[in-house]
Chains A and B, each alone.
Chain A
Amino acid sequence: MNKLLKKPKQPLPSSQQGRYERFYLTENPFPTEPVNKDSSDRRINGEIYEKDIRVKEYTQIEEAFLKQPQSDLNRLRLGYISDTSYIGRGNGKSAFLVNLMRKINQDYCLDISNDLNKCFALYVTPEPGGRTKRFASFVDLLFSSILQSKIINTCLALIRLDAIIIAYPDIDVASLFSNEEELIHCLSSPSDLSERGIEPSQLTDTISENEFLQVLPPDFPLSAKRRGFLSRFITEEDFINYFKRLKNGKEKIDFIFSHMVYLFMAAGFNGAYILVDDFERIPDFQSGRDRKDFAIELRSCLLDGPYVNARYGFYNMFLVLHAGVPQLIVDAWSSSGLGNRYPLMPKVDASHLVIFDKLNREHISMLLKKYLSTYRLEQVECDDLAPFTPAAVSLIAEINENNAAGILMACRNLLEYAANDPSQTIIDEDFIRNKSKDLEGDDLGKSPIIDASNTTDLMKKATEK
Chain B
Amino acid sequence: MTITTKPLQSVKKFYFLDYFLILLQSIEKQSQREGVFDVFKILKQKHRLGESKYKKLTEEREPLTERQQQRYRYTFKQVVEESKDYGLIEESNEGLLTLTDEGGRLLKDYEFHGEIKFNRSVFKLMEERYNAFRILLEFLYTANPSRSGVLIFPHYSPLELHFKRKNMQTTGDIVRYTEKLKEKLTDDINHYLKRLVNLDDKNEEILGKLIKDGVLPKKESDSFNSEDYNKITKRIRDFWITYFLKDLYRSPYTMSTFELWIYRARQIGIIHATEIYPTLNGKLVYPTSVIVEHTASPDFASIYQYNDGKHLFLHFPIQESFQEKFVEALYSGYVTLRRYYKNYFINLAALREIVCHNLKISSQLFEHYLNEAYRLNLIGELGIRISLEVDKLPEETNAMYLKHEPVMVDGSYRNIIAIDLAKGEENE
Residue B178 at the chain A interface, CB threshold 8 Å: no
Decide if B148 touches A324 in the complex (CB within 8 Å). no
A433 to B161 CA separation, bound complex (whole angstroms) = 10
Task: Report the minimum CB–CB distance from B427 to chain A (whole Å).
Answer: 13
Residue A129 at the chain B interface, CB threshold 8 Å: yes
Q: Which residues on A sit within 8 Å (CB–CB) of B191? A: 446
Decide if A323 touches B297 in the complex (CB within 8 Å). no
Decide if A323 touches B354 in the complex (CB within 8 Å). no
Residue B1 at the chain A interface, CB threshold 8 Å: no
Q: Which residues on A sit within 8 Å (CB–CB) of B146? A: 452
Task: Report the minimum CB–CB distance from A314 to chain B (whole Å).
Answer: 31
Residue A50 at the chain B interface, CB threshold 8 Å: no
Chain B 148-190 interface 0/1 with A at a Cβ cutoff of 8 Å (1 = within): 1110100000000010000000000000000000000000000
| A455-B360, A456-B148, A458-B288 known; A442+B313 contact, CB < 8 A | no
Residue A89 at the chain B interface, CB threshold 8 Å: yes
Decide if A322 touches B391 in the complex (CB within 8 Å). yes
List which A441-465 residues lie within 8 A (CB) of chain B. Answer: 441-442, 444-446, 448-450, 452, 454-465
Decide if B279 touches A449 in the complex (CB within 8 Å). yes
A322 to B393 CA separation, bound complex (whole angstroms) = 11
Decide if A281 touches B387 in the complex (CB within 8 Å). yes
| A445-B279, A455-B148, A458-B288 known; A129+B393 contact, CB < 8 A | no
Decide if A324 touches B299 in the complex (CB within 8 Å). no
A217 to B424 CA separation, bound complex (whole angstroms) = 38
Decide if A459 touches B149 in the complex (CB within 8 Å). yes
Decide if A129 touches B387 in the complex (CB within 8 Å). yes
Decide if A433 touches B162 in the complex (CB within 8 Å). yes
Partner of B150 from A452, A454, A462 at Cβ < 8 Å: A452
Decide if A89 touches B354 in the complex (CB within 8 Å). no
List which B334-358 residues lie within 8 A (CB) of chain A. Answer: 336-337, 340-345, 354, 357-358
Residue A284 at the chain B interface, CB threshold 8 Å: yes
| A456-B359, A462-B290, A462-B292 known; A450+B391 contact, CB < 8 A | no
Residue A179 at the chain B interface, CB threshold 8 Å: no
- The chain A residue sitting closest to B416, CB to CB, is A89
Decide if A458 touches B358 in the complex (CB within 8 Å). no
Residue B304 at the chain A interface, CB threshold 8 Å: no
Task: Report the minimum CB–CB distance from B98 to chain A (whole Å).
Answer: 42
Residue B141 at the chain A interface, CB threshold 8 Å: yes
Decide if A444 touches B340 in the complex (CB within 8 Å). yes
Q: Which residues on B sit within 8 Å (CB–CB) of A34? A: 343-344
List which A391-437 residues lie within 8 A (CB) of chain B. Answer: 399, 405, 409, 433, 436
Chain B 381-397 interface 0/1 with A at a Cβ cutoff of 8 Å (1 = within): 00001111111110111
Task: Report the minimum CB–CB distance from B390 to chain A (whole Å).
Answer: 6
Partner of B299 from A444, A449, A461, A465 at Cβ < 8 Å: A461
Partner of A458 from B162, B360, B392, B418 at Cβ < 8 Å: B360
Chain B 192-205 interface 0/1 with A at a Cβ cutoff of 8 Å (1 = within): 10000000000000
Task: Report the minimum CB–CB distance from A438 to chain B (whole Å).
Answer: 12
Task: Report the minimum CB–CB distance from B139 to chain A (whole Å).
Answer: 14
List which A278-310 residues lie within 8 A (CB) of chain B. Answer: 280-281, 284
Decide if A450 touches B360 in the complex (CB within 8 Å). no
Residue A130 at the chain B interface, CB threshold 8 Å: yes
Partner of A462 from B147, B284, B295, B390 at Cβ < 8 Å: B295
Residue A337 at the chain B interface, CB threshold 8 Å: no
Task: Report the minimum CB–CB distance from B96 to chain A (whole Å).
Answer: 45
A86 to B337 CA separation, bound complex (whole angstroms) = 19
Decide if B336 touches A327 in the complex (CB within 8 Å). no
List which A101-152 residues lie within 8 A (CB) of chain B. Answer: 128-130
Decide if B315 touches A458 in the complex (CB within 8 Å). yes
List which A19-33 residues lie within 8 A (CB) of chain B. Answer: 32
- The chain A residue sitting closest to B359, CB to CB, is A456
Q: Which residues on A sit within 8 Å (CB–CB) of B336? A: 445, 448-449
Q: Which residues on B sit within 8 Å (CB–CB) of A130? A: 378, 387
Partner of A89 from B297, B337, B343 at Cβ < 8 Å: B343
- The chain B residue sitting closest to A405, CB to CB, is B343
A459 to B340 CA separation, bound complex (whole angstroms) = 30
Decide if A327 touches B393 in the complex (CB within 8 Å). yes
Q: Which residues on B sit within 8 Å (CB–CB) of A460? A: 148
Residue A343 at the chain B interface, CB threshold 8 Å: no
Q: Which residues on B sit within 8 Å (CB–CB) of A86? A: 392, 397
A379 to B392 CA separation, bound complex (whole angstroms) = 47
Most buried by B among A130, A409, A433: A130
Chain B 266-302 interface 0/1 with A at a Cβ cutoff of 8 Å (1 = within): 0000000000011110001001111010011101100
Partner of B279 from A281, A446, A463 at Cβ < 8 Å: A446
Residue B420 at the chain A interface, CB threshold 8 Å: yes
Q: Which residues on B sit within 8 Å (CB–CB) of A457? A: 148
Residue A328 at the chain B interface, CB threshold 8 Å: yes
- The chain B residue sitting closest to A328, CB to CB, is B390
| A89-B343, A130-B387, A441-B340 known; A459+B279 contact, CB < 8 A | no
Residue A90 at the chain B interface, CB threshold 8 Å: yes
Decide if B393 touches A449 in the complex (CB within 8 Å). no
Task: Report the minimum CB–CB distance from A100 to chain B (whole Å).
Answer: 22
Q: Which residues on B sit within 8 Å (CB–CB) of A450? A: 152, 192, 277, 279-280, 284, 357
Residue A88 at the chain B interface, CB threshold 8 Å: yes
A17 to B147 CA separation, bound complex (whole angstroms) = 49
Decide if A458 touches B290 in the complex (CB within 8 Å). yes
- The chain A residue sitting closest to B389, CB to CB, is A284
- The chain A residue sitting closest to B354, CB to CB, is A449
Q: Which residues on A sit within 8 Å (CB–CB) of B354? A: 449
Decide if A456 touches B149 in the complex (CB within 8 Å). no
Chain A 150-180 interface 0/1 with B at a Cβ cutoff of 8 Å (1 = within): 0000000000000000000000000000000
- The chain B residue sitting closest to A463, CB to CB, is B292
Decide if A456 touches B345 in the complex (CB within 8 Å). no
Task: Report the minimum CB–CB distance from A447 to chain B (whole Å).
Answer: 8
Q: Which residues on A sit within 8 Å (CB–CB) of B390? A: 280, 284, 324-325, 328
A399 to B342 CA separation, bound complex (whole angstroms) = 16
Partner of B147 from A325, A405, A446, A452 at Cβ < 8 Å: A452
| A433-B162, A458-B149, A463-B292 known; A280+B340 contact, CB < 8 A | no
A88 to B332 CA separation, bound complex (whole angstroms) = 26
Q: Which residues on A sit within 8 Å (CB–CB) of B292? A: 459, 462-463
Decide if B148 touches A128 in the complex (CB within 8 Å). no
Q: Which residues on B sit within 8 Å (CB–CB) of A325? A: 390
Q: List 15 A-B contacts (CB under 8 A).
A: A34-B343, A129-B386, A280-B389, A280-B391, A323-B396, A324-B396, A448-B336, A450-B279, A455-B357, A456-B315, A456-B358, A458-B148, A458-B289, A458-B360, A459-B149
* Interface of A toward B, CB cutoff 8 Å: 32, 34, 86, 88-90, 128-130, 280-281, 284, 322-325, 327-328, 399, 405, 409, 433, 436, 441-442, 444-446, 448-450, 452, 454-465
Which 7 interchain pairs have the tightest Cβ spacing?
A: A324-B392, A445-B340, A462-B290, A128-B387, A445-B279, A456-B360, A462-B295
Q: A446-B279, A458-B315, A460-B148 are in contact. List 18 more A-B contacts (CB 8 A).
A: A34-B344, A89-B343, A89-B391, A130-B378, A280-B391, A323-B391, A324-B391, A324-B392, A399-B162, A436-B162, A449-B340, A450-B279, A450-B280, A452-B150, A455-B358, A455-B359, A462-B297, A464-B296
